[in-house]
Amino acid sequence: MGDEGARVPAWVERRLAGREPGRGVAKVLRALAADPRRMSYASTAAAARAAQVNVATVVRAAQLLGFSGWPALRAEIRSRYLAGLSASQVLTEHATDDGPARATLRRELANLRDLSAVLDEEQIGRAARLLVDARVTLVLGSGSFAAPGLQLAHLAQTLGHDVRLQQVGGTGLLNAVSLLREGDCVVAMLLWRTPREVLDALGVARERGARVVVVSDRAGEPFSHLATELVQVPSEGAGMFPSVVAATTVVQAVVAAVVALDPAAARRASDGIQALWDRYGLFPDPDA
């Protein structure tokens, strides 16, 4: 971007891929670099005021970087900003006079509003098709970020699909992905910071011909080139730790899309599992 754009973050430069933005778009990118915290909260109009351009220029800047619009780019900026903070710094970022319960509720409602702005119905359908067509699907997630993966694995199994939550890292993780074949699938929950071994596992999966669905709060590298489908979600929490509410909502959407692909098969599988549970008295009789 020349001398004026020297302060633009490296990830922005990579997304520009050598393209020279116009004067107005360059002003947006410089505003992004100068105050990422402010821009990560800004509406389209507020971003335009910060950069001293019009709203259309803000939208063009987002699209030049490969995003559908400002809400998607704003989510990327926010994710990268928060990922650079420690848990204690994130807590300071979220300091408020509100009680923790109400602050959490407000934050999650905001996350779902942000998700609704970027959620792609057709992409959710494609992700569901990859899972349905796979011989086996591995679900990866680190720490608490595995929680939506547990939900996906359990519900997909109930619908008759071989979906396994991979909870072991290190050699166990690489062993598991080494068994994948062409057309198999990996679903990865990549929020906040991603362990290197998970990225390595995704690389091995792609080498084996597996399809990769990434659910992440970041749309760019280091894993975007590995993803067959990259579903972007907001993950900002109200306190020290990121939220998995939006990621869990995406899992619910994928499961619903799996059912919609073949409702009759979903009913047969679910009824079969229910019969097995009843056979072994897994749950008490609600009428007893």
pLDDT by residue for the chain (288 residues), tens only, comes to: 544 444 677 888 888 888 888 899 999 998 888 888 888 888 899 999 999 999 999 999 999 998 888 888 888 888 777 777 776 776 666 666 678 898 888 889 989 988 998 899 999 999 999 999 999 999 999 888 999 999 999 999 999 999 999 988 899 999 999 999 999 999 999 988 788 899 999 999 999 999 999 999 887 666 778 999 999 898 888 877 889 999 999 999 999 999 999 999 999 999 999 999 999 999 887 776
Indicate whether 15 and 144 sit together in one domain: no
Q: Is residue 287 part of a domain?
A: no
Indicate whether 147 and 237 sit together in one domain: yes
Indicate whether 75 and 123 sit together in one domain: no
Indicate whether 147 and 265 sit together in one domain: yes
Indicate whether 35 and 135 sit together in one domain: no
As a whole number of Å, the CA-based R_g of the chain is 21
CB 55 within 8 Å of CB 48? yes
Indicate whether 68 and 150 sit together in one domain: no
State which residues form the domain around 167. Answer: 118-278
Q: Is residue 99 part of a domain?
A: no
Q: How far apart are CA 166 and CA 173, in angstroms?
A: 7
Please report, for the domain that includes residue 222, its CATH number. Answer: 3.40.50.10490
What's the structural domain count of the chain? 2
Indicate whether 254 and 129 sit together in one domain: yes
Q: Is residue 60 part of a domain?
A: yes
HSE at residue 150, side-chain half, CA atoms within 13 A, is: 8
Indicate whether 149 and 248 sit together in one domain: yes
pTM: 0.75
Q: Is residue 145 part of a domain?
A: yes
Please report, for the domain that includes residue 32, its CATH number. Answer: 1.10.10.10
Q: Is residue 93 part of a domain?
A: no
**Which are the contacts of 210, defined by CB distance < 8 A and separation ≥ 6?**
134, 177, 180, 181, 182, 183, 184, 185, 186
Q: How far apart are CA 233 and CA 219, in angstroms?
A: 9
Instruction: Determine the residue type at 267.
Output: R
Indicate whether 159 and 220 sit together in one domain: yes
Indicate whether 145 and 233 sit together in one domain: yes
